[in-house]
Every structure is written in C-alpha cells, then in structure tokens.
C-alpha cells in the first residue's frame, strides 16, 4: 500500500460512528476539552511511523502478539495479549460502533435499534468476509472522503445557524433545559467549556490527565493495537508508512471542528433534548435516565439538514460505522487465527485459517450485540467517556510493556509477564467497581468509593502505567537477562543490525514459522492438485463459497532458499531513499507545529 490509502485508512479505522456519536455527545455535555483526545493522536502517530514501525518491520512480524513472542520468547505473553486485545475490541470498539450506528439510524429513520443493528451488520459482513485487508483499506480510503465532506457540510450549516464561533460561545453558555432538577447545577454548562486545560482536581478532563494519561492510552491505540499497526505494516516501504502516519495526523486535527463543535452547537440549539437533566424527561427523549448527550450529532442532522443532504449524512455515518467495523473484524480475525487457533492447531492449512477467521467474526458480533444494553447506561450516557474509561483500565499495561520491549533490552519474559498480570488484576478491579457502582443521576448523592469518584480514569491510567513499568523492571533485574543474539532487530537500538536474529525455541515444541502449511490428511481442505476447485468438478455452491471467501487451494509456488532469503530481506528492510525521507521529516515537523499552536490557542 502507498501512503495515501494508509493515512486515510488509519483515520477511518479510528473515526467510526462511535467517535461521531461519542465525541459530539461529550462535547455537548462538557465542551471543547474532549477534542484533546484527537489532537493528542498527532504526536503518537509520529511515534508510530518514526519509532515503532521501523522496529516491527525489522523484526518481520505481522501481529503485535507475534512481536512480543519474538522479543521475549515463550508463548504465554503472546496468548494473553491476543485474548486481551479481543476483549478490548468487544468492549470498546465493536459494541460501541454497532450501538452508535444503530442509534443514528434509529433517530434518522425511526427503525428499531436492533433491526438497525442487523441491517448494518449484514452489509458490513459481506465485504469484510469477501474482501480481506486490501478491500478494507481501499474502502476505508473512499469512505474517509465521504466522512470528511459530509461532516464539513453539517459543520458549516450548524455554525451559520448559531452565528459562527462567537454566537456558539454565547448560545452554548445559555443552553439551560426548561425542566431542571431543583437545587442542583448539573443543568448549567461548564464555565471552562471553551478551554482545553482544566483544573487538575475539579476538572471533568483534568489537564495532567489529558496530556500524560491520554498519551498512555494513545500509545496503546496507535502504536501497539493490531487494528492500527496492521495498516502501517501493509506499506510498500518505511517512507510510505511514515507518510501515512503524517496524513492521518493532519486528518485527526479535523474532528475537533466537524464533530466536537457541532455537538456543542446541537446542545445550544436543542437544550431540552440534548441537555436534559430530569431522569423522566431523558427517558422519554432517548430511553435512558442518565442523560441524552449521545443524540447530539444525529439530532443536528435531522433538524438542520435538507432532505437530500440528510441522506448524505446517513451515508457518512454508515461509512464511518462500516470502515471501523471492517478494520476491527479483519484484525480480530488475524489475531485469533494466527495467535490463538494456530497455537492449538499448529498444522492448520491456509484454507482452514480463513474459514475459522470468518466464523470467529460472527461470534464477535453476537457477543458485542449482547453487550449493547450495558453501554446505554454507562458513564452518564456519554459514549466517549465509556470507551476511554474502559481503555484506561485495560490498555496501560500493554503500552508499558511495548515501550519497555522497544527501548529497554534488559526487560525479559518473566518481568513482562508478571507486569502484565499485576496490571490486569489492578485494572480489572477498577473496571468491575465501575460497573458495580453506577454513576448517579442529577440530584442524587454520589455514594461511590473514593477510588471511583476522586481518581479520574486518566489519572488511573498514569498510575497503572508506572506500576507495570516498576514491577516489570524489578522482576527482570531479579531474573536472567535475554541473550544479545535474541534481541537483534527486536529493539530500537538493534533495528539496523546486519546480523541474523537467533529465535527462541518454542517451549511447546510447536512450529515457530508463521506460514506453516498442513501436512496432515484430516484437514477439510488439502493443497493437492486434484482438490483444486478450478480443475475438480465441485458442486456449484462450493465453487461460489470458494470464490466468495477468496479461497485458493492451488499449491503455493515453491521458493528456493535464495529466493526466500531475498524475500525476507525485502520485507524487513527499513532503508529509505533520501528525498522522500526528508519530505516525511519536514511534514512531521509542520504537523507538530500546527498541533502545538492549536493546543495553545484553545488552551
């Protein structure tokens, strides 16, 4: 892939319908600060292209758990990370995207929430199953254009309606609902609504958490998450991977203007619905008692846009939903088949892996749909806060271990594993408490434990991150170091090494190659010539099945040792030609300068 589709795919994989609904809703409830989640991404995207991707390419890996396996040895870290990544996808990505997309269609077309869900999933599943990663990336690139154009159209209509930015500032601060809860202030917009940097103790998004805690979460999301990194690893070379990161960084500046601010416009125009605080009113407006800020974006579309353009915005939301879902489905399938299924079926053929991956997608969808009722009532009805809080409880240990793996050669498998286990226990404890004690509605007494109501989830992310680093470092220093031969190409310091890495022996005595082909006779599909669907008279339905799933049972052409070596050298090369290297570096500096200016201007 070249830099343009990679950058567009990075953007659309992240900006799904969950982000449209969640960012706009949190913007409506609390103001501009939530846009910091988008602007922070620019810094971490540069880290992805300039620091992490060169190491991953040099290491010759295709999944993130595979990198940890080659870096540390053993299998338990790889298996754990695969399972945890899939759990995070269900709780924070798939279920929220399905819910938000269906919510938008429910408000727009009046369909039942679960009917909307079924229709969206049917359309999405068809080309995910049939197309694979190439189809997903190219479709993402096209849908990014639709999203950006449609969102900007709505932004200009909204700003015109409120009197541009000055009018928004006045009308938002006056957006009180007509029915309030007596003797409370929860109906009053925040005094710091138009500022990014908020009080470190009383702010809804305190500035130390927004800068440091958010960087921890962003590092996990952009630099270690399979959904994102898989796109960069599909680049033709390192310069194209860097160019994709820079393009995505430029694109991530925009959501503040075409998602967060329209959410605030929606509250300014429709305070009784979007800004409701009375539980009974909220129940009648959006079927939940904790608040209706999630309807801010679709409410704006339905009320302001002409009929034809409203259709465009429905297309935008469906494009956002489908692009993020297909990305997650494709990456989840890769994780499950390569890192879990092959662990127990080491002789599985390519065809078996493809079919297992597609069946696993269906299982993910079912689990995610069952989780939707929990999302509806979580975090005061603010979808984006729900996503970020769950991420804060589970992702910091992964970010910590990847940073240690890339930069600290002394960290070994024992240290990484026990650091991850300690982080999991602490994070799960907080997450379980979060669901056990629901957020009180307006006017209710907050009886939650102090660790919930006084320790912001972004602060918790910082604490958990450093806890895992300390535990991993101490355990590693108390156990034998990894031999230098095993670290070649695995760290930032050894990525340019000309030596060949000595791979760890598999403790389970299973094949270590990632492309092993079945030699057994009991697999459903074989690679014998007589089993070729093009040469054997299969029933028509089986030929259609093979074609739809992209299954080719022709034997792969045999490569000589020289050809294998040349191919491996090409796939793991991080050399760059000077003109394009300089272009990427200059654009990265310009992007960061723009980013710093925006933080300062809105700070």
Distance of CA 369 to the CA centre of its chain: 18
pLDDT in tens, 88-135: 777 777 777 777 777 777 777 676 666 766 776 666 666 555 555 566
Q: Could you give the CA distance from residue 336 to residue 77 in angstroms, rounded to a whole number?
A: 14
* Number of CB atoms found within 10 A of residue 543's CB: 14
Instruction: Identify which has the larger pLDDT, 398 or 516.
Output: 398
Instruction: Evaluate if residue 415 carries a pLDDT over 80.
Output: yes
Q: Could you give the CA distance from residue 139 to residue 589 in angstroms, rounded to a whole number?
A: 29
Distances in whole angstroms, Cα of residue 274 to Cα of each of 101, 160, 293: 18, 19, 5
Instruction: Evaluate if residue 563 carries a pLDDT over 70.
Output: no
* Number of CB atoms found within 10 A of residue 249's CB: 29
Query: What is the token pair recorded at 331?
Result: 């990456």
* pLDDT given at position 426: 92
Instruction: Evaluate if residue 473 carries a pLDDT over 90.
Output: yes
In which region does residue 550 sit, left (phi positive, over 0), alpha (psi from -120 to 50) or beta (all else)?
A: left
**Over residues 433-443, mean pLDDT:** 72
Compute the Cα dihedral for 444, 449, 450, 452 and give only its sign. negative
Q: Could you give the CA distance from residue 197 to residue 205 in angstroms, rounded to a whole number?
A: 8
- What is the maximum span of the chain, computed from C-alpha positions, in angstroms? 80
Rounded (10°) CA dihedral 168, 174, 180, 182: 140
* Number of CB atoms found within 10 A of residue 117's CB: 22
Give the chain's mean pLDDT: 78
Q: Could you give the CA distance from residue 34 to residue 30 in angstroms, rounded to a whole number?
A: 8
Q: Could you give the CA distance from residue 443 to residue 450 in angstroms, rounded to a whole number?
A: 19
Instruction: Evaluate if residue 512 carries a pLDDT over 50.
Output: no
**Over residues 41-61, mean pLDDT:** 89
Rounded (10°) CA dihedral 456, 458, 460, 461: 170
* pLDDT given at position 591: 92
Residue 349 phi, psi (nearest 5): -80, 170
pLDDT in tens, 241-257: 888 899 999 988 888 88
Task: Give me the helices (H) in 48-201, please.
Answer: 53-59, 64-72, 76-88, 95-109, 113-162, 164-173
Least confident of 160-164, 241-245, 500-504, 514-518: 514-518
Query: What is the token pair recorded at 481?
Result: 């170091």
Instruction: Identify which has the larger pLDDT, 18 or 483.
Output: 483
Against a cut of 0.85, is the pTM above it? no
pLDDT in tens, 314-357: 776 776 666 667 767 777 777 788 777 877 777 777 777 777 87
Report residue 463's pLDDT band, with 50, 70 and 90 as the boundaries.
very high
Task: Give me the helices (H) in 437-456, please.
Answer: 450-453
Q: Could you give the CA distance from residue 459 to residue 470 in angstroms, rounded to a whole number?
A: 17
Give the 3-state secondary structure of residue 423. Answer: helix
Give the 3-state secondary structure of residue 290. Answer: coil
């Amino acid at each position: 892939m070249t830099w343009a589709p990679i950058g567009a795919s990075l953007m659309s994989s992240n900006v799904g319908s969950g982000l449209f609904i969640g960012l706009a809703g949190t913007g409506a409830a609390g103001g501009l600060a939530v846009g910091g989640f988008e602007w922070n991404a620019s810094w971490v995207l540069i880290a992805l292209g300039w620091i992490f991707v060169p190491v991953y390419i040099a290491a010759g890996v295709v999944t993130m758990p595979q990198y940890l396996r080659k870096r540390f040895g053993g299998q338990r870290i790889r298996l754990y990370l695969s399972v945890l990544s899939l759990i995070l996808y269900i709780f924070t990505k798939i279920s929220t995207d399905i819910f938000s997309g269906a919510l938008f269609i429910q408000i727009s077309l009046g369909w039942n929430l679960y009917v909307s869900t079924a229709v969206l999933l049917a359309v999405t599943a068809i080309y995910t199953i049939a197309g694979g990663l190439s189809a997903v990336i190219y479709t993402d690139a096209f849908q990014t254009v639709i999203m950006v154009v449609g969102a900007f159209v709505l932004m200009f209509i909204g700003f015109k309606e409120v009197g541009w930015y000055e009018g928004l500032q006045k009308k938002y601060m006056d957006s009180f609902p007509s029915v309030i809860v007596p003797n409370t202030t929860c109906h009053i917009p925040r005094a710091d609504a138009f500022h990014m940097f908020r009080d470190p103790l009383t702010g809804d998004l305190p500035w130390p958490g927004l800068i440091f805690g958010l960087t921890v979460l962003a590092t996990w999301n952009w630099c270690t998450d399979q959904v994102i990194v898989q796109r960069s690893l599909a680049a033709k070379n390192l310069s194209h991977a860097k160019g994709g990161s820079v393009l995505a960084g430029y694109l991530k500046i925009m959501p503040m203007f075409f998602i967060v601010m329209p959410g605030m416009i929606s509250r300014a125009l429709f305070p009784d619905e979007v800004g409701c605080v009375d539980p009974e009113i909220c129940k009648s407006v959006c079927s939940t008692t904790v608040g209706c800020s999630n309807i801010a974006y679709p409410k704006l579309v339905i009320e302001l846009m002409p009929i034809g353009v409203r259709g465009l915005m429905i297309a935008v939301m469906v494009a956002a939903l489908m692009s993020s879902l297909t990305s997650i489905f494709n990456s989840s399938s890769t994780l499950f088949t390569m890192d879990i299924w092959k662990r127990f079926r080491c002789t599985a053929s390519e065809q078996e892996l493809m079919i297992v991956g597609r069946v696993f997608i269906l299982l993910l969808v079912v689990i995610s749909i069952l989780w939707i009722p929990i999302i509806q009532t979580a975090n005061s009805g603010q979808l984006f806060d729900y996503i970020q809080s769950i991420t804060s409880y589970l992702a910091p240990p992964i970010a910590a271990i990847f940073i240690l793996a890339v930069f600290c050669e002394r960290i070994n498998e024992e240290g990484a594993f026990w650091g991850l286990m300690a982080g999991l226990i602490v994070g799960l404890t907080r997450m379980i408490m979060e669901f056990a004690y629901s957020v009180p509605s307006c006017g209710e007494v907050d009886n939650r434990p102090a660790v919930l109501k006084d320790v912001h989830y972004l602060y918790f992310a910082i604490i958990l991150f450093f806890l895992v680093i300390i535990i991993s470092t101490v355990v590693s220093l108390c156990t034998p170091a990894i031999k230098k031969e095993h670290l070649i190409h695995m760290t930032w310091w050894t990525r340019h090494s000309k030596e060949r890495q000595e791979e760890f022996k598999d403790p389970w005595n299973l094949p270590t190659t990632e492309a092993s082909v079945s030699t057994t006779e009991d697999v459903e599909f074989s690679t014998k010539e007589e089993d070729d669907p093009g040469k054997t008279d299969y029933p028509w339905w089986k030929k259609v099945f093979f074609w739809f799933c992209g299954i080719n049972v022709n034997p792969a052409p045999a490569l000589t040792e020289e050809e294998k070596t040349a191919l491996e050298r090409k796939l793991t090369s991080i050399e760059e030609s000077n003109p394009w290297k300089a272009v990427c570096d200059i654009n990265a500096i310009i992007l960061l300068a723009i980013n710093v200016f925006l933080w300062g201007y809105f700070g």
